[in-house]
A = this chain, B = another copy of it.
Amino acid sequence: MNSSVIIRAPLHVQVAERLRLMIDSGELEPGARLNEIDLCNTMGVSRTPLREAIRSLATEGLIELQPNRGASVSIISHEDVSEILPIMAALEGLGGRLAAVHMTAEKIAQVRKVHDQMISHYQNREVAEYFETNRLIHELVTEGSGNQTLVDTINSLSAKVRRARFSAQMTEESWAKAVSEHAEIIAALEAKDPERLEAILIQHVETKRATILGTLEDKN
């Protein structure tokens, strides 16, 4: 018996991942039409698995389907962000509340470590690294809740907001605020204080909302 079986993911799954990546990276911009034949050629697959992948991403909300008119990358509107962020606040708050109770000392130490890295990136004004460590902290906390459905739900919403691409627009002021909130997050986590962590995470998303909607106002 071979215990290290190589499981090749079905084509439609691979294609879906690839598409997700293309959308997330901006290679496929919001509103861009998805020409099936073109995509088939670039990916080297037939239309069947491609279409299955497109249907998946459509139910995820990353893509919009117009009958007989194909698919296009869905556009994240000002209104969408306004809808999503309060939901994320509630869910991240819940995640934090659960994490404060369930996370092991080792896990918390790990978050602390990433947190310190993030602070250093902040001080050095290393934007990309800052955002990556930031994202990782939130992921670790949410995962620390031990609620996989919660993790999935947040990720799904987060994927949509991420495409608003507000990061570049962050001001020095809002950045500083985010960092100080993160200090409170790690403190509440180490103190294993569910209510406090929940409150801070909700406030943190509110700060994020203000930042994002501020920049979106500029663009529109």
A17 at the interface (CB under 8 A from B): no
A58 to B55, CA, bound (A): 11
- Indicate if the CB atoms of B10 and A67 lie closer than 8 Å: yes
Whether A94 touches B83, Cβ cut-off 8 Å, given contacts A7-B67, A52-B52, A55-B52, is no
Q: 1/0 per position for A42-62, CB-CB distance to B under 8 A?
A: 000000100111011011100
Identify A55's interface contact among B55, B68, B94, B157, CB under 8 A.
B55
A153 at the interface (CB under 8 A from B): yes
Q: How many residues of A sit at the interface, in one of the four size bands?
A: 20 to 34
A88-116: which have CB < 8 Å to B?
A: 90-91, 93-94, 98
A26 at the interface (CB under 8 A from B): no
A12 at the interface (CB under 8 A from B): yes
A35 at the interface (CB under 8 A from B): no
Name which residue of chain B comes closest to A83, CB basis. Answer: B149
Residues of B with C-beta under 8 A to A56: 55-56, 58-59
A174 at the interface (CB under 8 A from B): no
A148 at the interface (CB under 8 A from B): yes
Name which residue of chain B comes closest to A89, CB basis. Answer: B94
- Indicate if the CB atoms of B98 and A94 lie closer than 8 Å: no
Identify A153's interface contact among B51, B59, B153, CB under 8 A.
B153
A59 to B67, CA, bound (A): 20
A147 at the interface (CB under 8 A from B): yes
Whether A147 touches B83, Cβ cut-off 8 Å, given contacts A48-B48, A52-B51, A91-B90, is yes
Name which residue of chain B comes closest to A68, CB basis. Answer: B10
Question: Max chain B CB contacts within 10 Å: which of A80, A94, A149?
Answer: A149
